[in-house]
Amino acid sequence: MKKSIGANTIVYPTPVLIVGTYDAAGKPNVMAVAWGGICCSDPPCVAIALRKATYTYGNIILQKAFTVSVPSEKHARAADYFGIASGKNANKFDVSGLTPVKSALVNAPCIEEFPLVLECKLIHQVKIGLHTQFIGEILDIKAEEGVLDEKGMPDIEKVRPFFYDPGAYAYYRIGEFLGEAFSIGKDLKKKA
């Protein structure tokens, strides 16, 4: 039996993505975003949704570029701080002790210490309501060598990302391997 819980913003999981931008003076800023994710395979694109009131919103409009970094669970405290402070009145890199590095391909900063970074060029902007969605084409992904597997691809168990539960305002670790995608449902397909 299902019960109505009202119009709400609950799906599981939502990511914790760190968006890096420069302001007009070249000051690097980062903010945490849970409303985001991959939105196209070709060209590879990522969408992030921001309130107009954020410092990052103006920076993206200005620079037409941003980075999206995936933090490891050891960075949860810094990532949380990036979501509760504003770049309008703080230099979040100075406060967190993390290191901004200019992206090789776009005019936006990456976080040196984070394992995975997507370098993005703004290609669409969609005003929805309180949030505006920015869609960036992913020009490249850069990964720490230590999180790569033997094929040179990121290994999620080395990246150790974490995620956000928007119903309970909580972060969770990733768990164990459950099964192979496009594979564990094959017997049902054969049955059809």
Binds a second copy (CB under 8 A): choice among 31, 49, 60, 106 = 49
State the DSSP code for 71.
P
47 and 135 Cβ atoms separated by less than 8 Å:
yes
Q: Is 46 in the site for a second copy (CB under 8 A)?
A: yes
Cα–Cα dist 94/109, whole Å: 14
Q: How far is the CB of 21 from a second copy (least distance, A)?
A: 17
Give CA separation, 11 vs 44, 53, 63, 141, in Å.
23, 24, 31, 26
Classify residue 70 by burial, with Cβ atoms within 10 Å: 0-12, 13-18, 19+: buried
Q: Is 60 in the site for a second copy (CB under 8 A)?
A: no
Q: Is 20 in the site for a second copy (CB under 8 A)?
A: no
Q: Is 138 in the site for a second copy (CB under 8 A)?
A: yes
Q: Is 150 in the site for a second copy (CB under 8 A)?
A: no
Q: How far is the CB of 140 from a second copy (least distance, A)?
A: 5
Which residue's entry shows tokens 């049955």?
191
Q: Which residues in 151-190 contact a second copy (CB under 8 A)? A: 152-156, 159, 161-189
Q: Which two tokens stand for residue 51?
A: 């309130």
Q: Which residues in 79-98 contact a second copy (CB under 8 A)? A: 79-85, 90, 95-96
Binds a second copy (CB under 8 A): choice among 23, 64, 139, 158 = 139
Binds a second copy (CB under 8 A): choice among 52, 77, 88, 99 = 77
Classify residue 185 by burial, with Cβ atoms within 10 Å: 0-12, 13-18, 19+: exposed
The size of the interface with a second copy (CB under 8 A), counted in residues, is 107
Q: How far is the CB of 58 from a second copy (least distance, A)?
A: 19
Rg of the chain's alpha carbons, rounded to an integer? 18
